[in-house]
Amino acid sequence: MDIKIIGAGPGGLVTGLKLLEAGFRPTIIEKQKGIVSTLCAEGLSKETLSRVPFGPWDSYAAHSFKHATFIFPSGQKAYVQKPCYTMDRTSWFRAMAKAFEEKGGKLVLGENIDEKKFSELKYDVLVDATGPLSWISRRVVGNTMKIKPGVQYRMKIDYDYDGMEFFLDKRYSDEYSWIFMKGETANVGLLGSLKQLDAFIADKKLKGTIIRKEAYNIPFFGTKMQEGNVLLMGDAAGITNPLTKGGMACCIFAAEVLVQCVKDGKVGDYDRRLKAHPVLAKEYETALEYFMQMDNAVLDRIGDMVDGEDLTHMSAGLKAKLLAYALLNRRKMTTLMKAVSYCNKYSW
């Protein structure tokens, strides 16, 4: 079977490696002359990393953590006790590209597939993994998606961190901000603008050197995943997790769905199967809406209830307290809690 993948980012590389693992020999076509990474906070769990048919990956983990920490406006902390890492994505992607070729895949660099070349391209299955600005996604497949701007500074700072830190504070971002240590540097960012990020850094009294400023459009709520034998993957599909805006883990799970469709000889089922997967759970839309409505007073009240708790194993009593607090919006809180449980497993 002639399977071609356009784009050698995370979606394309992981899909390619998983197809090789399943016995296929795909070709990846990348417009850049080398393998590079775009903006990403770069956090992934050990559990999710283990699903990528590549290893050992330890040398590409710039920093390891025993847990992730969710920090509320008044400083309350809740934890997810799960080994996780910040990855050096560029070196990791380059190593995956090398492994892809060594295992029998074909990698073509420096070739841009424009509309003319696309019309001449021969394939049995085409996977578009060219990112959120994909013209194939829009014009060929007819996909639409929502976009959220993400901004990040790579900083050299001396910081006393508590795990992989997520800040839930509407003073800076209407969603969340983050500080992820990465060796001697840190990824400091948020969902929003550079002005909001500067305010976050000033309030947290982060002193250090800004090495690089980054900005990226994060796509989510993609509506259509395929047109015939043209399949979308990663940011081209808009399958970033709507709550966490994490995309790498979603690529890994989506690639598993895609490969299974190919193995089953049912490529036409890809859109349906992917939309039935928890990566695209229907609960996310209501959950995101409810979270966006929360102000800092609400977040602080929730923070008081979960302070010091491990969110991976919430007790029945804690769940009851959260539902009781949201008595007038019990359905929304139930949906939010379910969506958060999906996030814990499928988004990082």
Whether residue 276 is found in the same domain as residue 303: no
309, 333: one domain: yes
pLDDT band at 40 (very low <50, low <70, confident <90, very high): low
In a domain, 294, yes or no: yes
Could you list the residue range(s) of the whole structural domain that residue 272 is in? 3-39+50-59+88-146+222-280
> Do the domain assignments include residue 109?
yes
Instruction: Judge whether 13 lies within some domain.
Output: yes
Do 112 and 11 share a structural domain? yes
Of 280, 295, 325, the last residue of a domain is 280
The kind and range of the H/E element at 215 are strand 208-220
pLDDT in tens, 139-153: 999 999 999 999 999
The residue written with tokens 């019990």 in the block is 330
Is 328 domain-assigned? yes
Rg of the chain in Å (alpha carbons): 20
Same domain for 237 and 335? no
CB atoms within 10 A of CB 49: 22
Residues 67-95 pLDDT 10s: 999 999 999 999 999 999 888 888 999 99
259-301: pLDDT as tens digits: 999 999 999 999 999 999 999 999 999 999 999 999 999 999 9
Residue matched to tokens 């660099």:
109
The DSSP element (H or E) to which 96 belongs, if any, is: helix 89-102
Cis peptide before 56 (omega within 30 of 0): yes
Decide the pairing of beta strands 106-109 and 27-30: parallel
Is 233 a domain residue? yes
The total number of structural domains in the chain stands at 2
| The residue to which tokens 């970033």 are assigned | 240
293 and 274 both lie in a single domain: no
In-domain check, residue 178: no
H-helix or E-strand spanning residue 260: helix 248-264
Closest of 159, 26, 4 to residue 101, by C-alpha = 26
Tell whether 260 and 320 lie within a shared domain: no
121 and 137 together in one domain: yes
Residue 138 domain-assigned (yes or no)? yes
* Per-residue pLDDT band at 332 (split at 50, 70, 90): confident
Query: Is 291 in the same domain as 241?
Result: no
pTM for the model stands at: 0.93
